[in-house]
Each structure stands twice: as structure tokens, then as C-alpha cells.
Amino acid sequence: MASTRPNQLFRNKSAKIAAIPMIVTALFVFVGGTIWTVVYSFTKSGLLPRLKWVGLDQYERLWATRKWLVSIENLAIYGLCMLVLVFVIGFILAALIDQKIRFEDTIRTVILYPYALSFVVTGLVWQWILNPDFGVQNVVRGWGWESFTFDPLYNADIAIYGVLIAGLWQGSGLVMVLMLAGLRGIDQDVWKASRVDGIPAWKAYIFIIIPMMRPVFVTTLVIVVTGIVKIYDLIVAQTGGGPGIATEVPAKYVYDMMFQANNLGQGFAASTMMLVTVALIVIPWAILEFGGSKRHD
Amino acid sequence: MKNSVEIKNLDLQFGAVKVLQNLNLEIGKGEFLVLLGSSGCGKSTLLNCIAGLLDVSGGQIHINDRNVTWAEPSERGIGMVFQSYALYPQMTVEGNLSFGLKNAKLPKSEIETRIKHASEVLQIEPLLKRKPAALSGGQRQRVAIGRALVRDVDVFLFDEPLSNLDAKLRADLRVEIKRLHHKLQNTMIYVTHDQIEAMTLADRIAIMRGGQIMQLGSPDEIYGRPVNKYVADFIGSPSMNFLDGQVKNGAFQVGDLTIPLDGYDFADSSGSAEGPATIGIRPEHVVTGELVENTPFQIEVEINLIEPTGSDTLVDCEVAGHHFRVRMDGQSKVSVGEKLRLGLAPSKASLFDAKTELRL
Ligand SMILES: Nc1ncnc2c1ncn2[C@@H]1O[C@H](COP(=O)(O)OP(=O)(O)O)[C@@H](O)[C@H]1O
Ligand SMILES: [Mg+2]
């Protein structure tokens, strides 16, 4: 009699077998690696990992280091500005292109192109553009404005904004295409209805269209935020963390500690702090988003 | 009757494609006009021009004696309902109804009164706090109608509002739209490709084809006196039977049959015509049984096929080498291969010129 219910574990067998390598990788590499890192952040590891417990020493040292504090501050400034500006610029560009303009393909390609470049190339390009001797400052002075000064990468107070410009130049294109895809997915009849209702275009965007694009915004947010937290190569290529320690960021601090200062324990502690920060942001959001997922349509 | 909407020499083209050409239409106050035509014939385009959602290439549009050719949609005194409902999904039903009014800076009390009135008329009061995702298709379309209703306008535009609904709901909401029109007595312009909707709702139907209006008239006129073969074929289900032949000496000759045309109302004032023509006879205008004796023309045919539909039975046969369908009562006892006597009255037939396909 086939009336007994088949064991749930053996349903979709082939799919489950196919997923095993990925599950194993995820468990061992991501989860295992993470736990290992957290554990060793409580040790006095130097050049090599050693299980010599020092309690919270590494963390106390971390939070007493000026370079780390500057890194955190830079990440906050860069992250906040990047997040706001990349969304504003990306969305406005997408909204402009969505007006069925001519040469749309060309413009889209030109704006998306920077995203295809490596951060290292972007960093170098903008290092030149912002260099007072070759770049913008030089060009404007060549036009006759002799006192013009624009050298963000050489001024410790604003150097991080020089990096921000490069980051925006590279990131806006991606946000734009994602937003454009979202805008193109909007039923044209909704636009027509809003026009019959007499809603001005900007109001229609804010109160009708953007709320309808929520899924696109969430996806874009995840991509942009992960890009911000792990920013490293742009800094290395563009400023090397300088002038002084003016453009240091947490990921670079971790790398420097682990592979240049031969201080693994300190590097692990810094990475753990980054993980905790991300978790503090992601977990409440995930609970909000997926916790009551049954109510979504 | 004063005209509510007047369309004068309207042209519309997308790039090089001319979709509407020199179109004229006058719609009376309180009239229910249906634009009927197959898909792609320009019905939505015409409606969007009236709404102001498309810029016309030439001609004028007047609504309530005001030239609105270049006015914004919201300033034309129209409300519009779309096939896809086009509700604002992140707002509640109440938000959907009130958003446009709030934006127009109407006083709060006025907005409340209008929403109350509209939701009573459409019976959507219990739904006011819900979002569109939590509504059925029929409820969503009611809300969309409500959004047009609260605008308190004289002209309603509908673009295939029932096409996304299943057959039962479509029939229900159709009746409701008709009732709404009786109650409000405002002008309604209704686009559809469904002839049943058109016949049941319209005061007048405009049959469109290729961006032009083929015939404009009451459902009776369109059904009984189609101006050309296209309209005759388009209206009526099952469609009209056509026999190709000749009009000669006041009779229609097809093969070796001669159908007398006494009592046929010729379009030409001379009351006659000659030459190659097509006669169109609706399946429901052919009589069978005892009634045959009273008709001027009778013929015996062999039954080829029977399609029972419950209320009616459709019988397929052959007349003078042409495929011919007859509608009989659903209770009729007939079977394939049997002989059947048919009778027809020329006064109910339609004659079309073989070349121009225009009504004779
Ligand atoms: N935005 C547009 N650009 C170019 N051609 C269009 C556009 N909209 C409609 N058309 C064309 O105009 C014709 C009429 O379209 P439409 O009014 O939507 O037809 P209907 O509503 O009667 O099905 C169609 O042939 C269609 O291809
Ligand atoms: Mg259409």
C-alpha cells in the first residue's frame, strides 16, 4: 500500500545531492572560517595563529588605536554620503533616461561603463584627475584662473571626499541600470492614472512609483552596502590610506595588521568588529523583512 | 441634445505610422458610447487622445463646449478606468480614492463626502482600509471606477475595464456599470472588443477599423442594417452567412436558386440595384418547422453538423455551394444527415456590393 507518506528527507533527492557541495563549502568556509576568526581574536596570535588566550586585550588595544578610530570615522562618512548620493544620482539618471530620450543605449552604456572597470583602475584614474599637477586644478589654472585650488587627495581634512567622488563615479551607473529596470517594470497605466488624477511627476515618483519599486530598492541597497563595507582596493589604488592616515578604512586596517604588521590577533579582532557591525544592521532588517513573510503578497 | 464630447478632424500618428486619420465624432450629454473593434484598430489610442494622455497630431477635441485639445488630462473634466486597474498598490483603497483630491487641495470634509458617496454606490465601504493586493479582480476594478467617480466629472472613459475578469464577474460588473450609468446620467465612452458588452451597454456603438469609424449607430441599427460587409461579419455570434451571387430583376440569384427581394429596404433611393452582390443572412433569422410556410423563400437542405449549446442548437448545412449556419431552438430534435426545411425573409437580410462591400 502506497498510503504512507514518503520520508520528506528523500524528496527531490537529486536536487539535494547537487546542493551538497555548496552546503559543505558554505558551512566549512564561511561559518567555520568565521568562528575560527572570532575564536582566535581572543588570542595573542602574531605571525602565526597560536591558541594563547588574552581575553579582550586585542579589543582594548583596537579601540585605543587612532588608526582604527579614523578608519571607522572614514567608513561612516564615506558610507553615509555614498549611500545617499549614489541612490539620488542613480535614480535621477534612471528617471531622466526613462523619459524615452534618444540615444538611450549610448548614454546608458557610457554611464554604466565605469562599473565594468576594476576599482584599481578607477582609483588610479581619479588619482590623476584629482592630482593638482596634472588634473582638474591644472586644467582650470590653464584657462586663466590662476588661484584655483582643487586638491582633495592632498588635504587630510577632505581626502575621504576625493575617494567618495571616485566611488560615486563608479557606482552610480550600476544603481542607474537597476533603477531603470525597476522603472521599466512599472505598468504604464499607473502613470496614466496619476496624470488623470493631476499628480505632478515628482509627487508620482515619491508617493507611487518609488513605493512600487521597493524590491528593486532592497536589492540595490544590499549591493551598495556590501560594496561600502568591504571598500579596500579603491583606497589602496587611489590614496594608499594617505595623506598620513586620513583615508584609512577598516578593511585596510585588517589587511595591514594581518599581513604587514604580523599581528593576526589584532586583525582578527578588527574583522570581528566589522562582522558584529554588519550583523547589527542586517539581523534586525532580516527579521523585519522576512520574519512576518506570510503577510507579503 | 447638447454635445458633451466633440472630436473634429482628429489625426494621430506615432512617427510615420498614422493610427487615426481625420476622425470625427460627436457624443451627446449623458450618452453611453461604445468604441468597438478588433485589437489594434486604434480604440485605446482614440480614448487616450480624448483623455489627453497622447498629444494629437492634428484636429481638435472639445469637452463640454471647451476646446481641451492641449489641456492637461486632469483639467479636462474626465475620469478614466483602465484594463489593468492601475491602482496605486502601496496605498489603501481610501488612499487611492483620495490621493488625487488631496493633491487638488480639496477641503477634507468634501473629500470625505465624496469617498463616502462613491463607496456606497460601488459597495466598497468594507474595503476602504485594505490595500489593492488584498482585493479580488472585481473589487479592484470597482475601486478603479471609484477613483473616477470621486473626481465628480461629467465624462467617464473606460478602456476595456472588464477584459481581465473571468466570464461570470464580467457579466456581473457589466450590469453594474449599466446601473451606474442610469444613476449618474453622465457621458461614458467605453472601449471594448467584446460585442456582447457593446450591444448590452451602448446607446450608440462606433465600430472602428484601421483607425476609422466604419459605422456609428444604435445597437439595433448596427445589428439590423450594417453599412458594409465588415460590420455585418463582425457583429453577431455566430456570424452572418454570406452567399455570393447576382441581383437581377428584383431577385438575388445564387447558383440555381432565386431569392425574391420583395420587402428588402434598399439603401439606394431608387429602391433597387443590379449586378454582382453578396447576401448576408443571420443564422437566427432563418426559420424552421411550421413557420417555414409563411416565408417568401423556402429551401430544403441536408444537415452536415450539429452544435448544441444548451439554449440553442446550431445546425451546419450547405446552400448553393456555400457553408450555411442556422440557429434552432435548443429543444429541437434534429440529427446529422436529416433533411431540414428552411425559410427566410428577405426583409431581414442584408445585401452588399461585391466590389465595394457597401450595403445595397
Ligand atoms: N506608443 C506607440 N507607438 C507606436 N505605435 C503604437 C503605439 N501605441 C499604439 N500603437 C499602434 O497603434 C495601433 C492602435 O493601437 P491601440 O489604440 O492600442 O489599439 P486597440 O486599443 O484598438 O487594440 C496599433 O497598431 C499599435 O501597434
Ligand atoms: Mg486597447
Which residues of chain A lie closer than 8 angstroms to B78, CB-CB?
196
- Residue in chain A closest to B47 (alpha carbons) equals A192
Looking at residue B264, which CATH number applies to its domain?
Answer: 2.40.50.140
Tell me: do B57 and B160 sit in the same domain: yes
State the complex-level ipTM.
0.87
Q: Mean pLDDT score of chain A, rounded to an integer?
A: 85
Tell me: do B34 and B174 sit in the same domain: yes
Which residues have a Cβ under 8 Å from the Cβ of A13 and sit 6 or more positions away?
none
**pLDDT attached to residue A296:** 45
Query: Considering the domain boundaries, does residue B267 fall inside one?
Result: yes
The CA A179 to ligand 1 mean position distance, Å, reads 27
Tell me: do B130 and B189 sit in the same domain: yes
Tell me: do B250 and B150 sit in the same domain: no
Which is more confident, B311 or A50? B311
Mutate to test the interface with B, among A192, A197, A208 (most CBs of B within 10 A): A197
**Of A174-178, A293-297, B95-99, minimum mean pLDDT range:** A293-297
Confidence of residue A297 (pLDDT cuts 50, 70, 90): very low
Facing residue for A192 by CB, picked from B53, B75, B90:
B53
The tally of domains found in chain B comes to 2
Q: Mean pLDDT score of chain B, rounded to an integer?
A: 91
Which residues have a Cβ under 8 Å from the Cβ of B19 and sit 6 or more positions away?
B12, B13, B42, B45, B211
Tell me: do B171 and B112 sit in the same domain: yes
State how far the alpha carbon of A86 is from the alpha carbons of A165, A238, B298, in Å: 10, 19, 82
Indicate the domain borders of chain A: 1-40, 57-296
pTM of the model: 0.82
Confidence of residue B1 (pLDDT cuts 50, 70, 90): low
Tell me: do B207 and B337 sit in the same domain: no
Determine if ligand 1 sits within 6 Å of the CB of residue B219.
no
- pLDDT, average across residues A241-253: 86
Phi, psi of B94 (to 5 degrees): -60, -40
**pLDDT attached to residue B30:** 92
The pLDDT of residue A32 is above 50:
yes
Determine if ligand 1 sits within 6 Å of the CB of residue B360.
no
C-alpha cell of residue B296: 417568401
Domain boundary among B196, B230, B264: B230
Q: Name the strand (E) or helix (H) holding B176.
A: helix B167-184
Is A197 near chain B, with CB under 8 Å?
yes
Q: Give me the torsion for CA of B238, B242, B243, B245, rounded to 10°.
A: 170
Where do the H-state alpha helices sit in B28-159? 43-51, 93-103, 108-122, 137-149
Is B100 near chain A, with CB under 8 Å?
yes
The pLDDT of residue A218 is above 80:
yes
Give the residue from B232, B231, B203 showing the smallest Cα distance to B37: B231
Q: Which amino acid is at A73?
A: E
- Strands B187-192 and B32-36 turn out to be parallel
Which is more confident, A153 or A205? A205
**pLDDT attached to residue A292:** 58
Tell me: do B226 and B244 sit in the same domain: no
Domain boundary among B230, B257, B273: B230
Where do the H-state alpha helices sit in A117-158? 119-129, 136-142
Tell me: do B154 and B39 sit in the same domain: yes
Determine if ligand 1 sits within 6 Å of the CB of residue B206.
no
Which residues have a Cβ under 8 Å from the Cβ of B213 and sit 6 or more positions away?
B23, B24, B25, B206, B207
Burial code of B266-281, b = ≥16 C-beta within 10 A, e = fewer?
Answer: eeeeeeebeeebbbbb
Facing residue for B104 by CB, picked from A198, A211, A297:
A198
Tell me: do B220 and B254 sit in the same domain: no
Question: What distance in Å separates residue B53's CA from the closest CA in chain A?
Answer: 7
CATH code, A57-296: 1.10.3720.10
**pLDDT attached to residue B290:** 85
- Residue in chain A closest to B149 (alpha carbons) equals A197
Query: Considering the domain boundaries, does residue B175 fall inside one?
Result: yes
Determine if ligand 1 sits within 6 Å of the CB of residue B44.
yes
**pLDDT attached to residue A6:** 67
Is B53 near chain A, with CB under 8 Å?
yes
Does the beta-carbon distance from A189 to B86 stay under 8 Å?
yes
Query: Considering the domain boundaries, does residue B360 fall inside one?
Result: no
Determine the angle formed by the axes of helices A250-259 and A264-286, rounding to 10 degrees.
150
Q: Give Dmax (Cα) for chain B.
A: 77
Domain boundary among B180, B210, B230: B230
- pLDDT, average across residues B191-195: 93
Domain range for B327 is 239-353
Q: Name the strand (E) or helix (H) holding B255.
A: none
Facing residue for B86 by CB, picked from A187, A207, A297:
A187
Q: How many helices (H) and strands (E) does chain B have?
A: 8, 21
- pLDDT, average across residues A289-295: 61
Q: How far is the C-alpha of B360 from the C-alpha of B342, rounded, in Å?
A: 24
Q: Look at ligand 1, atom 27, and give the residue with the nearest C-alpha.
A: B40
Given a contact cutoff of 8 angstroms between Cβ atoms, the answer to whether A268 and A58 are in contact is yes
**pLDDT attached to residue A2:** 55
Tell me: do B13 and B139 sit in the same domain: yes
Tell me: do B284 and B221 sit in the same domain: no
pLDDT tens for residues A52-111? 788 888 888 888 888 899 998 999 999 999 999 999 999 998 898 888 777 777 887 888
Tell me: do B148 and B36 sit in the same domain: yes
Does the beta-carbon distance from A196 to B84 stay under 8 Å?
no
Query: Considering the domain boundaries, does residue B359 fall inside one?
Result: no
The pLDDT of residue B268 is above 90:
no
C-alpha cell of residue A105: 543605449
Phi-psi region of A25 (alpha: psi -120 to 50; beta: other; left: phi over 0): alpha
Where do we find the cell 431581414? B348
Report the 10 Å Cβ neighbour count for A200: 12
Which is more confident, A28 or B269? A28
**pLDDT attached to residue B353:** 92
Question: What distance in Å separates residue A207's CA from the closest CA in chain B?
Answer: 9
Confidence of residue A295 (pLDDT cuts 50, 70, 90): very low
The pLDDT of residue A247 is above 70:
yes
Q: How many helices (H) and strands (E) does chain A have?
A: 15, 0
The CA B42 to ligand 1 mean position distance, Å, reads 6
The pLDDT of residue B59 is above 60:
yes
